[in-house]
Homo-oligomer: A and B are copies of this chain.
Amino acid sequence: MDEFASIHHWTDARQAAEWQRQRGVIIGIGDDAAVVDPAAAADGVAEPKRLLLAVDTMVETVHFNETTMRDEDVGYKALAANISDIAAMGGVPLHALVSVSVPPSYNPERMRRLYDGLYECAERYGVAVAGGDTTSSPQHLVVAVTVTGTVEAGRELRRSGAMPGDAVFVTGAVGMAAAGLHALLADAGLAGAASLVQAHRRPNPSVRAGRLLLERGTCRSLNDVSDGLASEAWEIAEASGLRLVLNEQLLPKSGSMAAYASQVHVDPLEWMLYGGEDYALLGTMAAEDVEAMQAAFRQEGIPFFVIGETEAGLPGVELICNEQAYQGKGSGSRPVKRAALSKRGYNHFST
């Protein structure tokens, strides 16, 4: 226990004082509480800000194990998942507080690697690690990360703002992380699955995409795809009180995922709809601004896919699919089917 009694062991000298100061950290790790001034985070924008707060937890054997994640990945992903929650509000992440409960199986070297990954993610996304708590744990590692961020007052992107006739979009391919997890668990040779494994272990929260969406002012609802596309679409449908109708043929399918799915005889649609942890952003926006939004995303090299539209009606999510195409028998002008998608989310170890 004593070895883990202080988070100092893992955090000392990891971030320069100036890096922290630029993010509004007045007092970082080392006192009872961190003292921060979010308004002092130099972003050159005078618009009044609000504070965003999010917490996300990763538990060994529930969200990861030694087969699926290296220690560095656990640290990286624990922070990345939280940054994604800030991105999904259109915000800029600022500070992180890290609670780690350390079982005997994690020696100091493993803990160092975990923090290596966490600080790598912090550096990439400009986050100051401002506080934390380290305790021992009887058996399993638990990492709970809290992140703060800022967002322009009144412009935060909620789940509840969708309106009938909106375009539904997603800012990246879906299903890759779930395919990567499948590859890790199947242990079937990972030669062709490297990018999928990377998607599972090192997700890219979509901070810049969230900012673009907020800046244009035409995004009406937003969520991050942490629990799978269908589940996240349901959250928007229920919060906004309408129906999302997605088009199967418009869902962004990565080539590597399709190839791997074919190799292991899995229908990739399952991963795309119900796989989680892609951390792309799913949302709805004013249909008349789609072209301009696409251009704005193109200019920054960020993917943007329109995948359906919203309709007035009881909350729900439907998928338009061409049955024959769905069964892999080629395309053609065959009858189109609308299938209701269930709400079920992502269970890490039941793929």
In the complex, whether A62 has a CB less than 8 A from a CB of chain B is yes
Q: How far is the CA of A132 from the CA of B137 in the complex (A)?
A: 21
Main secondary structure of the interface of A (DSSP, over half): strand
In the complex, whether A208 has a CB less than 8 A from a CB of chain B is no
Please report which residues of chain A, range 57-90, place their CB below 8 angstroms from some CB of chain B when the two chains form the complex: 57-63, 84-86, 88-89
In the complex, whether A138 has a CB less than 8 A from a CB of chain B is yes
Please report which residues of chain A, range 27-77, place their CB below 8 angstroms from some CB of chain B when the two chains form the complex: 27, 30-38, 50-63
Contact B89 A33 (CB under 8 A): yes
- Chain B neighbourhood of A117, CB < 8 A: none
Q: How far is the CA of A37 from the CA of B150 in the complex (A)?
A: 10
> Which of A141-149, A164-172, A212-220, A254-262 contacts the other chain?
A141-149
- Chain B neighbourhood of A27, CB < 8 A: 156, 158
Residue of B nearest to A349 (CB): B1
Contact A35 B139 (CB under 8 A): no
Contact B33 A101 (CB under 8 A): no
> Which of A91-99, A107-115, A303-311 contacts the other chain?
A91-99
A260 to chain B minimum Cβ distance, whole angstroms, is 26
Residue of B nearest to A350 (CB): B1
In the complex, whether A26 has a CB less than 8 A from a CB of chain B is yes
In the complex, whether A133 has a CB less than 8 A from a CB of chain B is yes
In the complex, whether A159 has a CB less than 8 A from a CB of chain B is yes
A332 to chain B minimum Cβ distance, whole angstroms, is 40
Q: How far is the CA of A31 from the CA of B36 in the complex (A)?
A: 24
A-B contact pairs, 7 of them (CB 8 A): A1-B62, A31-B89, A32-B89, A38-B51, A53-B146, A59-B137, A137-B140
Q: A: which residues have CB within 8 A of B?
A: 1, 5, 26-27, 30-38, 50-63, 84-86, 88-89, 91, 95, 97-99, 101, 130-133, 135-140, 142, 144, 146-149, 151, 153, 156, 158-160, 222-224, 239, 345, 347
